[in-house]
A and B are shown apart, each in its own frame.
Chain A
Amino acid sequence: EAQVTQNPRYLITVTGKKLTVTCSQNMNHEYMSWYRQDPGLGLRQIYYSMNVEVTDKGDVPEGYKVSRKEKRNFPLILESPSPNQTSLYFCASSLSGGKLFFGSGTQLSVL
């Protein structure tokens, strides 16, 4: 089944404790992206990747890192999480410019 898999589904952590949210897709898509969703603000892009070893900042990249060492994986790294990074995070992938396939989301709470 074609899908984007995100883990974990829920995560509660404390300020400053490094964490990684994993994202994997099995559709051989070149394009992958991370979004955060906050009430009233819609989906804001954090980082995106057009292909392996190619990553670019989105609209809200501060406090986040990503890597694209393999085509299927695009982890999101928070080196030192802060409470303002409490949000719902979505990973998505697509063939370049095409429709986005979203993962199920990760609800992150930073205390």
Chain B
Amino acid sequence: GQQVMQIPQYQHVQEGEDFTTYCNSSTTLSNIQWYKQRPGGHPVFLIQLVKSGEVKKQKRLTFQFGEAKKNSSLHITATQTTDVGTYFCAGMDSSYKLIFGSGTRLLVRP
């Protein structure tokens, strides 16, 4: 079945350093969504990418969707302690099934 692989599993950075998490799908996706889950909280929607090669920015966050619509990345510039949490990608296949990656847990040293 369809899988969405996400790496790394953990990332521990110094405040001010950059952070990137990557997702790869075994099949072509209709769209990809990104969510953030703060410790003890629930996942919260960040963004959805639909077009091949699409790049979207939200302040210090940059989201990319690959040309083949099989991979995606989330890059955070100059991390802050408020960025702490687990970031999930979720790929939607042609049958509108949404498959979550296993998440990347970001820890930020102040």
User: Are A and B part of the same complex?
Assistant: yes
Contact of B9 among A40, A44, A101 (CB under 8 A): A40
Chain A residue nearest in CB terms to B86:
A42
Are B6 and A97 touching (Cβ within 8 A)? no
CA distance A29 to B14 in the complex (A): 41
CA distance A33 to B35 in the complex (A): 16
Are A102 and B43 touching (Cβ within 8 A)? yes
Q: Which of A81-101 contact B (CB under 8 A)?
A: 90, 92, 96-101
CA distance A41 to B88 in the complex (A): 11
Residues of B within 8 A of A41 (CB): 102
CA distance A100 to B30 in the complex (A): 16
Residues of B within 8 A of A44 (CB): 100
Q: Does B33 contact A (CB under 8 A)?
A: yes
Bitwise interface map of B from 79 to 97 toward A, beta carbon under 8 Å scored 1, else 0: 0000000001010100010
CA distance A105 to B39 in the complex (A): 12
- How far apart are A56's CB and chain B's nearest CB, in angstroms? 9
Bitwise interface map of B from 23 to 37 toward A, beta carbon under 8 Å scored 1, else 0: 000000011010100
CA distance A100 to B92 in the complex (A): 12
Chain B residue nearest in CB terms to A58:
B97
Q: Is the interface of B mostly helix, strand, loop or mixed?
A: strand
Say whether, besides A43-B43, A102-B43, A97 and B101 are in contact (CB < 8 Å). no
- How far apart are A75's CB and chain B's nearest CB, in angstroms? 18
Residues of A within 8 A of B42 (CB): 90, 102-105
CA distance A43 to B36 in the complex (A): 12
Residues of B within 8 A of A105 (CB): 42
- How far apart are A30's CB and chain B's nearest CB, in angstroms? 11
CA distance A100 to B45 in the complex (A): 7
Residues of B within 8 A of A99 (CB): 33, 45, 48
Q: Does B44 contact A (CB under 8 A)?
A: yes
Q: Does A45 contact B (CB under 8 A)?
A: yes
